Amino acid sequence: MKNIGFPHDEATDAADRCGADWNEQALRTAKKELYMYPYSYEKLIKNLEEWKDFTREQAVYAAENCGADWNEQVVEKLEYYIDFFDEMTREEMLQALADDGFTDEQIAYAAEQKEI
């Protein structure tokens, strides 16, 4: 939890007692993130943990319940590389997808869909 002027213990106590369903909050955040940018399953979890301060369990819940089509996500990400990084080679694009946490099967699917 980011500190915005309250002592950590007081802020934590307030967050614990506010009645929020943190799994649902993580899920809503995941859906917003996926609306704006394509993510792999693993990268979405990492983003929710590191940038949005959800626990690992909350982030996994969100990734598993957000309804994402991970094949669609990898195709969108590959389209992004094709559109904005035309100097990248095929191999560099595929490696970038792997670095983004997509599986070998997902990467192969995207490469076939985009015929690269």
Contact of 43 with 101, CB cutoff 8 Å: yes
Q: How far apart are CA 15 and CA 55, in angstroms?
A: 13
- What pLDDT, on the 0 to 100 scale, is given for residue 116? 95
- What pLDDT, on the 0 to 100 scale, is given for residue 79? 97
pLDDT of residue 51 exceeding 70, the answer is yes
Q: What are the tens digits of pLDDT across the range 52-87?
A: 999 999 999 999 999 999 999 999 999 999 999 989
- What pLDDT, on the 0 to 100 scale, is given for residue 9? 80
Q: How far apart are CA 59 and CA 57, in angstroms?
A: 5
**In which band, very low, low, confident or very high, does the pLDDT at 18 lie, cut at 50, 70 and 90?**
confident
> Average per-residue pLDDT in the chain?
93
**In which band, very low, low, confident or very high, does the pLDDT at 2 lie, cut at 50, 70 and 90?**
low
